[in-house]
Chain A
Amino acid sequence: MIEVRNVSKIYLNGFKALDNVNLSIGKEEFVYLVGPSGAGKSTLLKMIYKAEEPSSGKIFIDNFSLNNITERQIPYLRRNIGIVFQDYKLLPKRTVYENVAFALRVMHYSRSKIRRQVSQVLELVGLHQKMSNLPQELSGGEQQRICIARAIVNNPKILLADEPTGNLDPETSWEIMHLLTKINTRKTTVIVATHNKEIVDNIRKRVIALEKGKLVKDQQLGVYSTNVK
């Protein structure tokens, strides 16, 4: 599904964010991307949705090289990729419903289809009672659920989550992670970049560890700690 081949990223200031990374993620997999801050997790995720370009190397999605995608095609790539952010990136002046519907609007869905899909997905994330609320009226965990709902409302093949629990308390973090695994069972490939050792060690999935831009571990049903090989 996702192929990363010899990918390096050197920023203009000389910082090497990724150093010759190779990895392959299959369909419907659930993968943790772990490592300290600055290890290159976010950079890698951004490359998958074309917010960053590799300095060298190639990324393929479904055998399509992202290097060949033109600027015009980027929106269509992103329609197949749901993205969950640490800071949720919600529209503060719009209701929960509108925040989620927004994603379908830009894809020209009909109003009835939008209504159907948004209420389905809000049900899935457990927010159907609060669809008329504004984001700031909800808790952090609930706001993250809106973000997740928006990311999956059009059933993308891939869901990328960049530190989804970074701003949440432990209990809420568990709920969010369970939600992400639930989404994975709906045949969506899920990649979660995270710091959260407790979760990684308890919800055991494939773990890919980065350190200073290098891939240092790739382990099925792995744990967070880098010294467990």
Chain B
Amino acid sequence: MLSDLEFFVSEALVGMKRSGLMTFISIATITVSLIIFGFFLLLSSNFNNLANFISSKLEIRVYLKDTLTKREIINFENELRKIKEVKKIVFVDKEQAWQNFQQNFKNINLNDLIESTPLPNSFSILLEHNENIVDIAQHIRGYTDYVEDVNYGGAIAKNISVFANFVKLGGLGVVLLLSLATLLIIVNTIRLTLIARQDEITIMRLVGATKAFIKIPFIIEGLFIGIIGAILSILFLKTTYGFIAMQIQDNISFFPLVFEESKLNYLYFMVGISGTFLGFLGAYISVSKSLKK
């Protein structure tokens, strides 16, 4: 068996060498396609990350009427706690809010202009899941006896996750088209090798080679093309992403980039598998078509 494998691999290498230019073009195409594929994966993964990040920071801010007594505020808080999705309620005292505000905007001296706090008391509410944030905010707005106003940052989060999905879908479309083009090029490369080795194939058949035996070297050739393309594209993606991520980190430090090894390795793994599979499939199609007779 080992000598069979050696034979197949050496035959595959001979094939790659003989149709050198086409092999090179195939590897280049598959590499570029995989880079674009990886780019879209990274992009949508980062947008999703951003959307999740923002969602996790989302809160409903409920501004209370200034006329409420302490008791009424406590009653209302208990009322709010009954809402299913509510995870956490924090009461923000208006004095506290004012201090926070001043802390955040130190350079503007408002004390000179405003005597007492202009801000109302408020509740900051965190939800279990943010999908229902709009409905819940609307619901809270209904307590007109207590509520002055309700604010939430739902729109942004929603837009980002819609955008992430859009990137994912658009990317998928582009990737599918590219894969098809890559596949065609690989099919043709292998076909050229097949044509170049037609005599050999005839002789193999006459001396009793099975179809599988004849096919395997060509399929290995396709696999090699796929694997080489995969390795090149992963190297490129890794270095480039590392570099760009560093730049972004340095300049927009709050931007939540995907840095987890496991997540990135999974993405690169997907790129690698896709390349290998494309190479295999291209060769398989070509060989099955040509060796039918």
Q: Which residues of A contact B (CB under 8 A)?
A: 49, 51, 72, 75-79, 83, 89, 91, 102-103, 105-108, 110-111, 114, 150
Contact = CB atoms under 8 A, between A and B. Distances in A.
A150 B200 CA distance: 14
A200 to B, nearest CB: 25
Contacts of A49: 206
B199 A106 contact: no
B3 A91 contact: no
B209 A91 contact: no
A110 B203 contact: no
Most buried by A among B199, B208, B209: B208
Contact of A102 (B205, B207, B211): B207
Given A91-B199, A102-B203, A110 B208 contact: no
B213 interface: yes
B135 interface: no
Interface in B189-227: 199-200, 202-211, 213
Most buried by B among A75, A91, A103, A108: A75
Give the 9 A-B residue pairs with the shortest CB-CB distance, closest first. Answer: A106-B209, A79-B208, A78-B208, A103-B207, A75-B208, A75-B210, A111-B3, A89-B203, A105-B7
A208 B199 CA distance: 31
Contact of A78 (B3, B200, B207): B207
Contacts of B207: 78-79, 83, 102-103, 106, 150
B206 to A, nearest CB: 6
A25 to B, nearest CB: 20
Contacts of A51: 206
Contact of B206 (A72, A78, A111): A78
Nearest to A93: B14
A103 B209 CA distance: 8
Interface in B1-44: 1, 3-4, 7
Nearest to B206: A83
Contact of B208 (A72, A91, A106): A106
Interface residues of B, number: 17
Contacts of A111: 3
Contacts of A83: 206-207
Contact of B202 (A89, A102, A114): A89
A106 B7 CA distance: 10
Nearest to A81: B208
A110 B5 CA distance: 12
A89 B201 CA distance: 11
Given A75-B205, A106-B207, 13 more contacts: A51-B206, A75-B211, A78-B208, A79-B208, A89-B199, A89-B203, A91-B200, A91-B203, A106-B208, A106-B209, A108-B4, A110-B3, A111-B3
Contacts of B202: 89
A150 B203 CA distance: 11
A80 to B, nearest CB: 8
Given A49-B206, A150-B207, A106 B200 contact: no
Contacts of B208: 75-79, 103, 106-107
Contacts of B210: 72, 75, 106
A78 to B, nearest CB: 4
A106 B202 CA distance: 13
B279 to A, nearest CB: 24
Contacts of A89: 199, 202-203, 206
Nearest to B207: A103
A134 B200 CA distance: 15
B12 to A, nearest CB: 14
A72 B210 CA distance: 7
A106 B213 contact: yes
Contacts of A77: 208
B204 A106 contact: yes
A78 B205 CA distance: 8
